[in-house]
Amino acid sequence: MAIPLAVFARIGVGVGNGTVRVTEKLHPGITYRLPIFSVVNTGDEKTYYEATVEFMRNIPELRPGREWFAFSPDVFVLEPGKVQNVEVIITVPLRAQPGDYFAFLQAHPTVKVKQPGQTAVGIAAAGKLYFTVEPASIWMAMYFRISSFAAMHRPWSYVIPGIIAFIGLIFILKRFIHIEIGVKK
């Protein structure tokens, strides 16, 4: 009893989809069902897993919001060597910016209810997700074009229209309001 025993367990995770490219252009306000996301327990013990969406910094594509995605199931348990197919649903918000998007569909081990002495394992597996959002109408396309131009040329995109509006206001006031100040005898 006094001899310590080493116990080893291998926890692992794998995914069946390396890259998902949605060829259909997505439109704001619509819900889409993405291809099934398969998660594999590559370890040798029963483990709880969680499906999430994750992002990378400094990429040219836009980042979708986490709230756009729903996974079913989002938390599940797998026996060693077993596979769980996860349904991925994306709901594009009405005010989604048109353009190309990128995210990772990720699975990682999780602790369902953390007990004292348990630790989380820092491993994960992910598949790449690429999709494109188109504007819902020509008016929305123009709105996003103007707003992205304004964001790129800040602060001048706000200063110059402000100066023009101020000059226009002075012109209107001079034309329609005539004020004379003088002293009469």
pLDDT tens, position by position, 144-155: 667 767 777 778
Helix spans in the chain (H): 138-152, 156-176
Whether domain 14-136 has CATH 3.30.565.10: no
Do 110 and 49 contact (CB within 8 A), yes or no?
yes
Q: What does DSSP say about strands 19-21 and 125-133: parallel, antiparallel, or unpaired?
A: parallel
Locate the domains of the chain by residue range: 14-136, 140-176
Side-chain half-sphere CA neighbours of 163 within 13 A: 5
Average pLDDT over the chain reads 82
pLDDT at 67: 94
Average pLDDT of the residues in 46-68: 90
pLDDT at 118: 59
pLDDT tens, position by position, 99-127: 999 999 988 888 655 556 655 557 888 88
What's the Cα-to-Cα distance from 179 to each of 102, 165, 173, 176, rounded to whole Å?
60, 22, 10, 10
* Predicted TM-score of the model (pTM): 0.65
- pLDDT of 30 over the 90 cut: no
Percent of the chain clearing pLDDT 70 (strictly above): 87
Residue-level length of the chain:
185
Do 127 and 109 contact (CB within 8 A), yes or no?
no
- pLDDT of 22 over the 70 cut: yes
Under DSSP, the state recorded for 68 is G
Selection from 80, 111, 100 nearest residue 22 by Cα:
100
pLDDT tens, position by position, 130-177: 999 988 777 776 776 677 677 777 787 778 888 999 999 988 888 888
Do 52 and 73 contact (CB within 8 A), yes or no?
no
